[in-house]
Amino acid sequence: MQSGAAEAITIEGLAKSFVDKEVLRSISLTVPAGESTVLIGPSATGKSVLLKCLLGLMPIDSGSMKYGNLELHAQDADGWSAFQSRAGMLFQQNALFDSLRIWENVAFRLINQERMSRKKARERALIRMAEVGLGEEMADLFPVELSGGMQKRVGVARAMIGNPELLILDDPTAGLDPILTNSILSLIERATAGKGTTVLVVTGDMKAARSRFDNVAMLFDGEIKWSGRREAVPDAGNPYLEQMINGRARGPIKMRLAARD
Ligand SMILES: Nc1ncnc2c1ncn2[C@@H]1O[C@H](COP(=O)(O)OP(=O)(O)OP(=O)(O)O)[C@@H](O)[C@H]1O
Ligand SMILES: [Mg+2]
Nearest Cα residue to atom 17 of ligand 1: 48
DSSP letter string, 21-81? EEEEEEEEEEE-TTSEEEEE--TTSSHHHHHHHHTTSS--SEEEEEETTEEEETT-HHHHH
Where among 137, 163, 189 does a domain terminate?
163
Residue 54 belongs to domain spanning:
1-86+166-256
Residues 75 and 176 occupy one common structural domain: yes
Q: Which residue has the higher pLDDT, 22 or 74?
A: 22
Residues 76 and 38 occupy one common structural domain: yes
Residues 183 and 216 occupy one common structural domain: yes
Question: How many whole angstroms separate alpha carbon 105 and alpha carbon 36?
Answer: 25
Q: Which amino acid is at 234?
A: P
Say if 261 falls within a structural domain.
no
What CATH number is associated with residue 8? Answer: 3.40.50.300
Where among 139, 163, 187 does a domain terminate?
163
Does 253 score more than 50 pLDDT? yes
Residues 120 and 202 occupy one common structural domain: no
Burial of residue 170 (CB within 10 Å: 0-12, 13-18, 19+) is buried
pLDDT digits (tens, 9 = 90+) for 110-152: 998 889 999 999 999 999 999 888 999 999 999 999 988 899 8
Q: In this structure, which ligand is nearest to the CA of 46?
A: 1
Q: Which residue has the higher pLDDT, 114 or 32?
A: 32
> Which of 177-181, 190-194, 257-261 is least confident?
257-261
Q: Which residue has the higher pLDDT, 113 or 171?
A: 171
Q: What percent of the chain has pLDDT over 90?
A: 69
**Whether 174 contacts 181, CB under 8 Å:** no
Say if 154 falls within a structural domain.
yes
How many domains does one find in the chain? 2
Residues 45 and 101 occupy one common structural domain: no
Atom of ligand 1 nearest to the CA of 45: 21
Atom of ligand 1 nearest to the CA of 41: 21
Residues 11 and 62 occupy one common structural domain: yes
Where among 131, 146, 163 does a domain terminate?
163
Query: What is the mean pLDDT of the segment spanning 55-71?
Result: 90
pLDDT digits (tens, 9 = 90+) for 182-238: 988 998 888 888 788 999 999 999 999 999 999 999 999 999 999 999 999 999 999
Say if 152 falls within a structural domain.
yes
Q: What percent of the chain has pLDDT over 70?
A: 96
Q: What's the confidence (pLDDT) of residue 23?
A: 97
Q: Is 5 in the pocket of ligand 1 (CB under 6 A)?
A: no
Residues 176 and 233 occupy one common structural domain: yes
Say if 240 falls within a structural domain.
yes
Q: Is 163 in the pocket of ligand 1 (CB under 6 A)?
A: no
Does 74 score more than 60 pLDDT? yes
Does 246 score more than 90 pLDDT? yes
Residues 74 and 153 occupy one common structural domain: no
Burial of residue 64 (CB within 10 Å: 0-12, 13-18, 19+) is middle
> Which of 44-58, 67-81, 98-112, 209-223 is least confident?
67-81
Question: How many whole angstroms separate alpha carbon 190 and alpha carbon 70?
Answer: 26
Question: How many whole angstroms separate alpha carbon 10 and alpha carbon 164?
Answer: 18
Atom of ligand 1 nearest to the CA of 49: 18
Q: What's the confidence (pLDDT) of residue 1?
A: 45
Q: Which residues sit with Cβ closer than 5 angstroms to ligand 2, an ion?
A: 47-48, 92
Residues 156 and 183 occupy one common structural domain: no
Q: In this structure, which ligand is nearest to the CA of 53?
A: 1
Q: Is 16 in the pocket of ligand 1 (CB under 6 A)?
A: no
The average confidence (pLDDT) of the chain is: 91
Q: Is 48 in the pocket of ligand 1 (CB under 6 A)?
A: yes
Residues 241 and 175 occupy one common structural domain: yes
Q: What's the confidence (pLDDT) of residue 162?
A: 86
Residues 140 and 241 occupy one common structural domain: no
> 25 CA distance to ligand 1 centroid (A)?
14
Atom of ligand 1 nearest to the CA of 46: 18
Q: Is 52 in the pocket of ligand 1 (CB under 6 A)?
A: no
Does 38 score more than 90 pLDDT? yes
Query: What is the mean pLDDT of the segment spanning 98-121?
Result: 94
Torsions phi, psi of 226, nearest 5?
A: -160, 145
Residues 148 and 214 occupy one common structural domain: no
